[in-house]
Amino acid sequence: MCFRDAAVRLRAQTIWSGVSLEVAPGEFVAVVGPNGAGKSTLIKAILGVHALSHGEASVLGLPPGQAGRRIGYLPQRRSFDASLRVRGVDIVRLGLDGNRWGTPLPVADRFRGSRRRDRERVAEVLELVGATSYATRPIGQTSGGEQQRLLIAQALVHDPELLLLDEPLDSLDLPNQAAIAAVISGICRDRGITVLIVAHDVNPILSYLDRVVYLARGRALSGPPSEVITSETLSQLYGTPIEVLHTSDGGLVVVGHPEAPAHHSDRHTGRTHERP
């Protein structure tokens, strides 16, 4: 995947411009930055939902929007209505065959070889993300972390080469963030799938990352985390003094951010409901 001097304008406003980045197959890449920096816009530009106003891009060797089935996409946190009576396994299955004509009939599963393979494939990804034990519960009755695993399974089930995950760790508790980060990096390493993950907080995934794309003030920087998340680079990007502190467990704390961290999740809290 490659962007050259790309820019996106939405409603007569430039979201970001001059973005150049190259992601090699099999890399684990994080897109980080403050709210409104255009992180989700970058994902949507890759998907071809937002057209570039300047520059060029290629995704899996094709123009954005052409790669279709070869991309797995997990949109920004959506929660399922608690009263939705559809099982998790059905939601995952729709990722595999939801765009096909016809109507799901239970009988067809038993007699057609292709349907049996589909069912086995669903079971395989559920096992991969560790969701097998609750996949047959109605999805509205699973917890936030469980839903997120099921949705990652859905994005993976059609065997994509590129996985785009928009804030998969948002509104999860710390143990769940760590567990899901491990699941995602495992998928990246073992299956050779390129993963692009949008995150507010880089720390849960920091140790797995090959590359960071830091978006702020309409511009982007990309490179290995040790080069990008430094006091000098970020100060330059923001145009104000920024300090990056190292914690004893290898985490990073960005201080002097123009936006206080407390504001970070405000935009999404209205739409989420975390269940204990």
Partner 1 sequence: MIPSAGATGLSWNVADDVRQLFAQHFMVNALAAGTIVAILAGSVGWFMVLRRQSFAGHTLAVISFPGAAGATLLGVSATAGYFAASIAGALVIAAVPGTGRGRGYTNQSAVIGTAQAFALACGVLFVSLYGGFLDSLNGYLFGTFLGVSDRQVLTLLAVAVVVLATLALVGRMLLFATVDTDVAATRGVPTRLLSIVFLVLLGCAAAEVSQITGALLVFALLVMPAATAQQLTARPAVSLGLSVVLALVIVWLGLGVAYFSVYPVGFYVTTFGFAGYVLAASGRALITWAGTRRRATPAVTR
Q: Is 39 in the site for partner 1 (CB under 8 A)?
A: no
Q: CB 93 → partner 1: shortest distance, Å?
A: 9
DSSP symbols for 135-203: TTSBGGGS-HHHHHHHHHHHHHTT--SEEEEESTTTT--HHHHHHHHHHHHHHHHHH--EEEEEES--G
Q: Which of 51, 66, 78, 159 binds partner 1 (CB under 8 A)?
A: 78
DSSP symbols for 187-227: HHHHH--EEEEEES--GGGGGG-SEEEEEETTEEEEE-HHH
Q: Which of 100, 113, 250, 262 binds partner 1 (CB under 8 A)?
A: 100
| Tokens 């411009």 belong to residue | 17
Given a contact cutoff of 8 angstroms between Cβ atoms, the answer to whether 121 and 157 are in contact is yes
Q: Is 87 in the site for partner 1 (CB under 8 A)?
A: yes
Q: Is 106 in the site for partner 1 (CB under 8 A)?
A: yes
Q: Which of the ranges 101-109, 195-203, 230-238, 247-255 carries the binding residues for partner 1, by CB under 8 A?
A: 101-109
Number of residues that bind partner 1 (CB under 8 A): 34
Q: Which of the ranges 1-9, 69-77, 228-236, 246-254 carries the binding residues for partner 1, by CB under 8 A?
A: 69-77
Q: Which of the ranges 103-111, 168-176, 204-212, 218-226 carries the binding residues for partner 1, by CB under 8 A?
A: 103-111
d(CA 1, CA 215): 17
d(CA 234, CA 255): 10
Quickly count: other Cβ atoms within 10 Å of residue 214's Cβ: 25
Q: Tell me the backbone φ, ψ of residue 252, rounded to 5 degrees.
A: -120, 140
Q: Is 11 in the site for partner 1 (CB under 8 A)?
A: no
d(CA 215, CA 3): 14
Q: Which of the ranges 121-129, 133-141, 209-217, 226-234 carries the binding residues for partner 1, by CB under 8 A?
A: 133-141
Site string for partner 1, 135-154 (x = CB under 8 A): -xxx---------------x
Q: Is 99 in the site for partner 1 (CB under 8 A)?
A: yes
Q: Which of 2, 94, 178, 182 binds partner 1 (CB under 8 A)?
A: 94
Pick from 156, 134, 163: nearest CA to 275 = 134
Binding site for partner 1 (CB under 8 A): 47, 49, 68-69, 71, 73-75, 78, 80-81, 84-87, 90-91, 94-95, 97-106, 136-138, 154-155
